Structure 1
Amino acid sequence: MDHKTNATLLFSLLFFVTHLTNALSKDLCNQNDKNTLLKIKKSLNNPRYLASWDPESDCCAWNYLECGDTTANRRVISLTMISAQISGQIPPEVGDLPYLQKLVFRKITNLTGQIPHSIAKLKYLRFFRLSWTNVTGPVPEFLSQLINLVYLNLSFNELSGSIPSSLSLLPNLSYLDLSRNKLTGTIPESFGSFPGEVPDLFLSHNQLSGSIPKSLGNLDFNRIDLSRNKFVGDASMLFGANKTTFCIDLSRNMFQFDLYRAEIPNTFGILDLNHNGITGSIPVQWTETPLQIFNVSYNRLCGRIPTGGKLQTFDSYAYFHNKCLCGAPLDRCK
């Protein structure tokens, strides 16, 4: 066999392998998923951000998504759009990616409209983040149908209305952030009885009001942030010496309770109570906690600031504008 024949055979083999590889790579992407993704691209007016979404290529190689092995072979399991130059509403076709586990739309200021009901079809969804957009409308009741949801972050949007009590039915939820919206009403009573682990709860920078359900005192929150709302009444039920709480932020509300009755565990790292109507004195036991951030300013506290521990490592701004607190770092008690 001469060199020319060898070269011809080698070329034919390379041609065959190349086309076989291309054929196999195209098969990596499920055709239904690919069609859905192209509809999503069209719904968003074919932005340059999605230029890699070429119908002639394997969709599992496209930017901003991930394929994974499922019971139905290779399917799209993650769709993540961050800081995208896109305009319009969340395409309802997102709900037609049945094996989606992660969905993120973040820092897209021209994303508007409401959260589409079709998202309720994503029965495998575990991680849903919609933040820093101009999406409006309510926090949808149908989110409670996403029973595999572990992480739900709807912060920094224009959402309004009340918090659905049905969110407390989510059995796997460990993180819930509804902060920096325009939510009104109260914290649902049902939030005192999450069926699984107690989620980190962030509700700050809204227009929520009323008192905190007493049932929240039954929960051992790791982190809870209710700051910058219009809450009133007693919040002492959130404290407890036997809890494992790390962070409580109740700042800039209208809470009124006796701080001396509030016991905190030795796991505490962040406590911010500034700008409320809290009375009483700072318990001596608080010197035993490893506080990193601490602020009780602008309240109605009295008495001597206990010495020892971390309490003197904070400057006067953490204590000033109280009724009659004294001792370092404030003026000496008379």
Structure 2
Amino acid sequence: MAFQFLCIISLLIFLSLPFSSFSKTEKCNPHDKEVLLKIKESFNNPYHLASWDPKTDCCQWYVVECDRETSRINDFHLFAANVSGQIPPEIGDLPYLESLTFHKITNLTGNIPISILKLTKLKSLTISWTNISGPIPSFLSQLKNLTLLDLSFNSFSGSIPSSLSQLRSLGGIRLDRNKLTGSIPESFGNLTPTLQYLYLSHNQLTGTIPRSWGDLNFTLIELYRNRLQGDVSFMFGKNKTIQILDLNRNMLQFDISNVVFPDSLTFLDLNHNRVTGSLPQGLTQLSLQGFNVSYNRLCGPIPRGGRLQEFEYTAYFHNRCLCGEPLPNCK
């Protein structure tokens, strides 16, 4: 009985101790927590950030992540949140951020704050599907560690900053679905060789494509629904690595007859341009998954073989005198 009594007394003493005395030590850096709470306040304390309780460890909060070694906030990912206002300038006070995302937040407005330049460790910047507007700031070129820049599906206007070509670590750029005008900067002819994909579609870009792109080895380029002009045959070549090229709904004009396509090409869309000549036999050697040359000025028979006859007639119709399966037979 005495032993049982002592066990009960010990248990009561243990339970009476403050919870913090046997709970895990909080990992969150106090400075980072203070900054996050200011960001929450700037967004008027939305329900989406309800887990941001100052009494809890910010490394466990929704939207953010901590680095395992430093316990500093290194990832901020605000997605499909019902928040309103502008990007808080305090976001620049999270010095260990490597990835910053604002995605599918239609009530996010204003401009990109210059305080973002303080994020010297930033590798990935995504601001997409928002109503952020104004010109794309040229100061983004100072974020030298960026490997991804995604500013798609916003309301950016003005021209593309030529200084973005100074980002030599980029693997991909997305500026599509904005209101950008002017020409593709000449400096984009000197984009880093590490750049694998480039999206500039659904803007109001004019002028020609930089000739020096013929020396780069992209994997994917989307430039459709702009007002681009000129010859793009230099984008092709037997030793190129391009896989997906979508240039539809521009005003491009060149003779396709003698173009040599790379073996890597799996998707080519040139519809609604001013392409002339006849389709080259080399197209039959490609493993095409998508192909469209409709609404151009092509003539002659569609080469037989490969996958060219597998596409619908809509991939070929509305040309000057193109003929052969899947279009009507040549006369």
Task: Identify which range, 247-256 or 187-196, moves more after superposition.
Answer: 187-196
What is the aligned partner in structure 2 of residue 4 from structure 1? 5
What SS does the corresponding residue of 2:65 show, helix, strand or coil?
strand
Structure 1 segment 97-108 matched on structure 2, within 5 A? 97-108=94-105
- Does the 8 Å contact 1:236/1:261 carry over to 2? no
- Does the 8 Å contact 1:172/1:196 carry over to 2? no
Alignment partner of 1:124 is 2:91:
no
What is the aligned partner in structure 2 of residue 153 from structure 1? 150
Once residues 139 and 179 of structure 2 are traced to their aligned partners in structure 1, the CA distance between those partners, rounded to angstroms, is 19
Once residues 330 and 64 of structure 2 are traced to their aligned partners in structure 1, the CA distance between those partners, rounded to angstroms, is 62
What SS does the corresponding residue of 2:67 show, helix, strand or coil?
strand
What is the aligned partner in structure 1 of residue 72 from structure 2? 75
What SS does the corresponding residue of 2:221 show, helix, strand or coil?
strand
Shift of residue 240 of structure 1? 1.3
Match of 1:245 among 238, 242, 246: 242
- Does the 8 Å contact 1:206/1:229 carry over to 2? yes
What SS does the corresponding residue of 1:114 show, helix, strand or coil?
coil
- Does the 8 Å contact 1:159/1:182 carry over to 2? yes
- Does the 8 Å contact 1:305/1:325 carry over to 2? yes
> What residue ranges of structure 2 are gaps of 5+ in the alignment?
none
What is the aligned partner in structure 2 of residue 63 from structure 1? 62
What SS does the corresponding residue of 2:136 show, helix, strand or coil?
coil
- Does the 8 Å contact 2:193/2:216 carry over to 1? no
Once residues 137 and 279 of structure 2 are traced to their aligned partners in structure 1, the CA distance between those partners, rounded to angstroms, is 41
Residue by residue over 1:88-116, the C-alpha shift from the partner in whole angstroms, topping out at 9 and shown as x without a partner, is: 00111111100011111111110000011
- Does the 8 Å contact 2:129/2:152 carry over to 1? yes
Once residues 255 and 123 of structure 2 are traced to their aligned partners in structure 1, the CA distance between those partners, rounded to angstroms, is 40
What is the aligned partner in structure 1 of residue 82 from structure 2? 85
- Does the 8 Å contact 1:47/1:85 carry over to 2? yes
Shift of residue 261 of structure 1? 2.9
Identity of aligned residues (%): 54
Shift of residue 237 of structure 1? 1.4
Shift of residue 69 of structure 1? 3.0
> What residue ranges of structure 1 are gaps of 5+ in the alignment?
none
What is the aligned partner in structure 1 of residue 46 from structure 2? 47
What is the aligned partner in structure 1 of residue 109 from structure 2? 112
Once residues 116 and 211 of structure 1 are traced to their aligned partners in structure 2, the CA distance between those partners, rounded to angstroms, is 32
Match of 1:231 among 212, 228, 231: 228
For normalisation by structure 1, the TM-score amounts to 0.95
Task: Identify which range, 30-39 or 2-11, moves more after superposition.
Answer: 2-11
Q: Report the RMSD for the aligned CA atoms in angstroms.
A: 1.4
What SS does the corresponding residue of 1:2 show, helix, strand or coil?
helix
Shift of residue 14 of structure 1? 5.5
What SS does the corresponding residue of 1:201 show, helix, strand or coil?
strand
What SS does the corresponding residue of 1:60 show, helix, strand or coil?
helix
For normalisation by structure 2, the TM-score amounts to 0.96
Size of the alignment, in residue pairs? 330
Once residues 35 and 200 of structure 1 are traced to their aligned partners in structure 2, the CA distance between those partners, rounded to angstroms, is 38
